[in-house]
Amino acid sequence: MISRITELNNIGIALSAEKDSRNILKHILLGAMSLTHADGGSIYTVTDDQQLKFEIVTTQSLNISLGIKGGQSIKFPSLPLYINGQPNNSMVVTSAVLENKTINIADAYHVDGYDFSGTKAFDHSTGYRTKSMLTIPMKNHQDKIIGVLQLINATNQNTGEIEVFNLESQQLAESLASQAAVTLTTKELIEQQKQLFEAFIELIATSIDEKSPYTGAHCKRVPELTMMIAEACNARLTGPLKSFKMTSKDRYELKIAGWLHDCGKVVTPEYIVDKATKLETIYDRIELVQTRAEILIRDLKIDFLEKKLALTESNSAANTDISVELASLDEKHRELVDEINNDLAFIRQANIGGEFMDDVSKQRVVDIAKKSWVNQQGNTAAFISENEIYNLQIERGTLTSEEREIINHHIVMTNKMLDSLPFPDHLKNVPEYAGGHHERMDGKGYPNGLMGFEMSVPARLMAIADIFEALTANDRPYKEGKKVSECLQILGHMKLDNHIDPDIFDVFIREKVYQTYAEQFLPSEQIDEVDHSLIPGYQE
pLDDT along the chain (540 residues), means of 10: 72 71 82 91 93 92 84 85 94 95 95 91 92 94 90 93 93 87 84 88 80 68 95 94 94 93 80 78 85 91 89 72 84 93 93 84 93 84 91 87 80 87 92 91 91 94 94 72 92 95 96 96 93 89
Question: Does residue 223 lie in a domain region?
Answer: yes
How many Å apart are CA 463 and CA 457, to the nearest integer?
Answer: 10
The CATH number given to whatever domain includes residue 489 is: 1.10.3210.10
**Residue 105 and residue 22 share a domain:** yes
Question: Does residue 193 lie in a domain region?
Answer: no
pTM: 0.68
Among 103, 125, 123, 122, CA closest to 114: 103
**Residue 298 and residue 392 share a domain:** yes
How many Å apart are CA 401 and CA 363, to the nearest integer?
Answer: 19
The CATH number given to whatever domain includes residue 159 is: 3.30.450.40
**Residue 318 and residue 440 share a domain:** no
**Residue 86 and residue 229 share a domain:** no
Cα–chain center distance at 341: 48
Supply the pLDDT for residue 1: 66
**Residue 429 and residue 337 share a domain:** no
Supply the pLDDT for residue 141: 81
Question: Does residue 197 lie in a domain region?
Answer: no
**Residue 37 and residue 84 share a domain:** yes
Question: Does residue 540 lie in a domain region?
Answer: no
Supply the pLDDT for residue 375: 81
**Residue 433 and residue 411 share a domain:** yes
Peptide bond between residue 240 and the one before it cis (omega within 30 degrees of 0): no
> What angle do the packed helices 513-521 and 502-510 form, to 10 degrees?
60
Supply the pLDDT for residue 364: 94
* Backbone angles phi and psi of 281, in degrees to 5: -125, -110
Supply the pLDDT for residue 319: 63
Q: How many CA atoms lie within 13 A of 138 on its CB side?
A: 26
Question: Does residue 517 lie in a domain region?
Answer: yes
- Asked if residues 380 and 373 have their Cβ atoms less than 8 Å apart, the reply is yes
Give the domain extent around 49: 2-184
Beta strands in 107-265 (DSSP E): 133-139, 145-155, 162-163
Query: What does the buried/exposed string (b/e) look like for 53-85 if buried means 16 or more CB atoms within 10 Å of the residue's CB?
Result: bbbbbbbeeeeebbbbeeeeeeeeeebebeeee
Supply the pLDDT for residue 152: 96
Supply the pLDDT for residue 202: 85
Supply the pLDDT for residue 486: 94
Question: Does residue 205 lie in a domain region?
Answer: no
Supply the pLDDT for residue 317: 62
Q: How many CA atoms lie within 13 A of 366 on its CB side?
A: 7
